[in-house]
């Protein structure tokens, strides 16, 4: 009887851990896709932007260099198929708190400024994503200034 109870509890814990791992992986992918989309919106994605994005992903998600590069490459493939950012922003909006959403916006601004200048399309996309994530305008502007 005790073994059955123990197995049931361990099964639930393992399922919860797997669900949390899946959720975290989905959050990483959604964030990376948005970052790649910002980097690509000006029709140029060079080595400087890739290196900056690699560093941002490594630091934000605590990934190694290879795992971060694999995430960016997978996000790039996803971004190639991207029709709208709504699917990704809706997922992030549902699964992140306000501070985490602001951190995503911060990553997007840092990506937009990776090449040293902000293109009007990058600016518009980050503002759109910020709005879809319900990040306040004051916070968005503060993060933009910090990224410059």
Angle between helices 2-40 and 86-95 (to 10 degrees): 140
Q: What pLDDT sits at residue 22?
A: 80
**Distance of alpha carbon 120 from alpha carbon 45, whole angstroms:** 15
**Distance of alpha carbon 54 from alpha carbon 52, whole angstroms:** 5
Tokens of 121: 């399309």
**Distance of alpha carbon 15 from alpha carbon 56, whole angstroms:** 30
Q: Which domain holds residue 98?
A: 2-147
Query: How distant is the alpha carbon of residue 90 from its chain centre?
Result: 12
CATH number of the CATH domain containing 59:
1.10.3680.10
Place of tokens 């040293």: 116
Q: What pLDDT sits at residue 19?
A: 58
Q: What pLDDT sits at residue 3?
A: 42
**Distance of alpha carbon 85 from alpha carbon 114, whole angstroms:** 20
Query: How would you label 54-92 residue by residue, b for 16+ Cβ within 10 Å and e otherwise?
Result: bebbbebbebeeeebbebbeebbebbeeeeebeebbebb
Give the number of domains in the chain: 1
pLDDT, block means (10 residues), the chain with 148 residues: 42 48 87 92 80 93 93 87 85 94 96 89 96 96 93
Q: pTM for the whole thing? A: 0.83
């Amino acid at each position: 009887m005790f073994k059955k109870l123990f197995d049931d509890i361990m099964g639930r814990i393992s399922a919860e851990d797997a669900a949390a791992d899946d959720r975290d992986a989905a959050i990483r992918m959604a964030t990376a896709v948005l970052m790649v989309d910002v980097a690509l919106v000006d029709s140029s994605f060079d080595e400087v932007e890739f290196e900056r994005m690699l560093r941002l992903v490594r630091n934000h998600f605590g990934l190694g260099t290879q795992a971060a590069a694999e995430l960016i490459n997978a996000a790039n493939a996803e971004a190639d198929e991207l029709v709208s950012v709504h699917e990704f922003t809706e997922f992030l909006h549902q699964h992140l708190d306000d501070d985490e959403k602001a951190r995503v916006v911060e990553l997007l601004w840092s990506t937009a400024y990776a090449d040293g200048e902000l293109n009007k399309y990058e600016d518009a996309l980050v503002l759109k994503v910020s709005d879809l994530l319900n990040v306040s305008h004051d916070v968005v502007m503060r993060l933009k200034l910090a990224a410059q």
